[in-house]
Amino acid sequence: MDGTLPGTDGTRRDMTVQMLTTKAEQAILKTFEDNAARLPGGKSVAELRRAAIGAFASRGLPSRRVEEFKYTDLKANLREAFPLVTGGAADADTTHGALGSHFGPEFAANAVSVVDGRGTSSGGHTFLADSKAVSMDWVQAALADESLAASADLLLNTALFTDGAVIDVPAGADVADPVVIVASARDNGLAVLRHIIRVGKGAKVTLVEVERAPIAAGLRQSSAVTQISIADGAEVVHIKVVEAHKGSTHLGHWQVRLGANVSYKPFQLTLGEGLVRNGLNVDFTGQHSTLDFGGASVVHGSGHADSTLVVDHKVPHCTSRELYKTVLDGQARAVFQGKVIVQPGAQKTDGKQMAQALMLSPDAEFDSKPELEIYADDVICGHGSTAAEIDPDLVFYCTSRGIPTAIARGMLIESFIAEAIEKVEHDGLRDALIGIARDSLAA
Partner 1 sequence: MPAVQETVEQVKKIDVDQYKYGFETDIEMVKAPKGLNEDIVRFISEKKGEPAWMLDWRLDAYRRWRAMTEPTWAKVSYPKIDFEDLYYYAAPKSTEGPKSLDEVDPELLRMYERLGVPLQEQEILAGVKSDKPRVAVDAVLDSVSVVTTFKEELAKAGVIFCSISEALREHPELVKKYLGSVVPQSDNYYAALNSAVFSDGSFVYVPEGVRCPMELSTYFRINERETGQFERTLIIADKGAYVSYLEGCTAPMRDENQLHAAVVELVALDDAEIKYSTVQNWYPGDKNGKGGIYNFVTKRGDCRGRNSKISWTQVETGSAITWKYPSCILRGDNSRGEFYSIAVSNGYQQVDSGTKMIHLGKNTSSRIISKGIAAGFSQNTYRGLVSAHRKATGARNFTACDSLLIGDKCGAHTVPYIEAKNSSAHFEHEATTSKISDDMLFYCQQRGLSEEEAVALVVNGFVRDVLQQLPMEFLAETQKLIGISLEGSVG
- By the criterion CB under 8 A, which residues form the site for partner 1? 1-11, 13-15, 67, 328, 344-345, 347, 352, 357, 359-389
Whichever of 163 and 367 has its CB closer to partner 1, that residue is 367
Task: Calculate Rg over the CA atoms of the chain.
Answer: 21
- Three-state DSSP class for 7? coil
Whichever of 168 and 365 has its CB closer to partner 1, that residue is 365
User: In this structure, are strands 350-359 and 319-328 parallel, antiparallel, or unpaired?
Assistant: parallel
Rounded CA-CA distance 150/171 in Å is: 31
Tell me the residue length of the chain.
443
Whichever of 5 and 37 has its CB closer to partner 1, that residue is 5
Rounded CA-CA distance 424/409 in Å is: 24
Whichever of 185 and 379 has its CB closer to partner 1, that residue is 379
Least distance CB 278 / partner 1 (angstroms): 19
Least distance CB 393 / partner 1 (angstroms): 13
Whichever of 83 and 410 has its CB closer to partner 1, that residue is 410
Write the Ramachandran bin of 212: left for phi over 0, alpha for psi from -120 to 50, otherwise beta: beta
Least distance CB 436 / partner 1 (angstroms): 24
Least distance CB 303 / partner 1 (angstroms): 15
Q: CA quadruple 428, 433, 435, 436: dihedral positive or negative?
A: positive
Cβ atoms of 123 and 113 within 8 Å: the answer is: yes
For residue 174, give the DSSP letter: B
Of 270, 98, 288, the closest CA to residue 181 belongs to 98
Least distance CB 369 / partner 1 (angstroms): 5
- Three-state DSSP class for 375? coil
Write the Ramachandran bin of 35: left for phi over 0, alpha for psi from -120 to 50, otherwise beta: alpha
Least distance CB 45 / partner 1 (angstroms): 36
